[in-house]
Structure 1
Amino acid sequence: MGRGRVVQTAFDESERRAWAGQADAYAASFAKLCAYPVPELLDAAGVRESVRVLDVGTGTGTAAALACGRGAKVTAVDAEPGMVAQAALAAPEADVQLAALPQLPFADDEFDATVGNFVLNHVGQPRQALTELRRVTRPGGRIAVTIWGVPAAAGQTLLGRAVQAAGVTRPAHLPALAPEDDFLRTEQGFAALLGEAGLTDVVCDTVTWDHQTTPEEWWSGPAAGVATIGQIVTSQNPVVIDEIRNHFESLCVEFTGPGGVLILPHAALIAHGQA
Structure 2
Amino acid sequence: MTNAEAYDRGFAHLSSHTVGPLLATARENGAPRLLDVGCGTGVVTAAALALGAEVTAVDADPVMLELTARRHPYATIRPAVLPDLPFEDEVFDAIAGNFVINHVPETDRALKELRRVLRPGGTLALTWWKADEMTATSVFAEAITAARIPYEPPPRPFSGNDTPRRFVALLEEAGFARAAVDTMRWRHHVDLAAWWTDVVQAGGPRFGMIGRQPPEIRERIRAHYDRLAAPYAREGFPVCAYLAHAVR
* TM-score, L = length of structure 1: 0.82
Partner of 1:70 in structure 2? Answer: 51
The one-letter code of the counterpart of 1:242 is E
Distance 1:21 1:151, change over 3 A: closer
**Is the 1:224–1:230 Cα contact (8 Å) retained in structure 2?**
no
Displacement of 1:125 in angstroms is 1.6
Matches of 2:214 and 2:169 in 1, distance apart? 41
Partner of 1:94 in structure 2? Answer: 75
Determine which of 113, 120, 123 is the counterpart of 1:139. 120
- Indicate the SS of the match to 2:131: coil
Determine which of 161, 184, 191 is the counterpart of 2:168. 191
- 1:135-214 aligned at under 5 Å gives the runs 135-171=116-152, 175-177=154-156, 182-214=159-191
Q: Which sits farther off after the overlay, 87-96 or 128-137?
A: 87-96
Partner of 2:204 in structure 1? Answer: 227
Distance 1:182 1:50, change over 3 A: closer
The one-letter code of the counterpart of 2:143 is A
Determine which of 227, 236, 241 is the counterpart of 1:268. 241
Structure 2: gaps of 5 or more residues: none
Matches of 2:170 and 2:115 in 1, distance apart? 13
Partner of 1:84 in structure 2? Answer: 65
**Is the 1:156–1:264 Cα contact (8 Å) retained in structure 2?**
no
Matches of 2:58 and 2:35 in 1, distance apart? 8
Partner of 1:112 in structure 2? Answer: 93
Post-superposition Cα deviations, 1:27-68, rounded to whole Å, max 9, x if no partner, equal 122111111101110013446645210000111111111111
The one-letter code of the counterpart of 2:133 is A
Displacement of 1:141 in angstroms is 0.8
Post-superposition Cα deviations, 1:198-257, rounded to whole Å, max 9, x if no partner, equal 222101011111111112221113422533332342454443322211100111221112
Distance 1:190 1:167, change over 3 A: farther
Determine which of 242, 248, 260 is the counterpart of 2:225. 248
Distance 1:177 1:230, change over 3 A: closer
- Indicate the SS of the match to 1:213: coil
**Is the 1:204–1:270 Cα contact (8 Å) retained in structure 2?**
yes
Matches of 1:241 and 1:183 in 2, distance apart? 33
- Indicate the SS of the match to 1:26: helix
The one-letter code of the counterpart of 1:73 is E
Distance 1:196 1:237, change over 3 A: farther
The one-letter code of the counterpart of 1:246 is A
- 1:16-55 aligned at under 5 Å gives the runs 20-46=1-27, 49=30, 51-55=32-36
The one-letter code of the counterpart of 2:238 is P
Post-superposition Cα deviations, 1:85-133, rounded to whole Å, max 9, x if no partner, equal 2212332221111222111110011101111000112222222112111
Q: Which sits farther off after the overlay, 185-194 or 246-255?
A: 185-194
Distance 1:44 1:233, change over 3 A: farther
Matches of 2:139 and 2:28 in 1, distance apart? 34
Distance 1:207 1:182, change over 3 A: closer
The one-letter code of the counterpart of 1:189 is R
Partner of 1:8 in structure 2? Answer: none
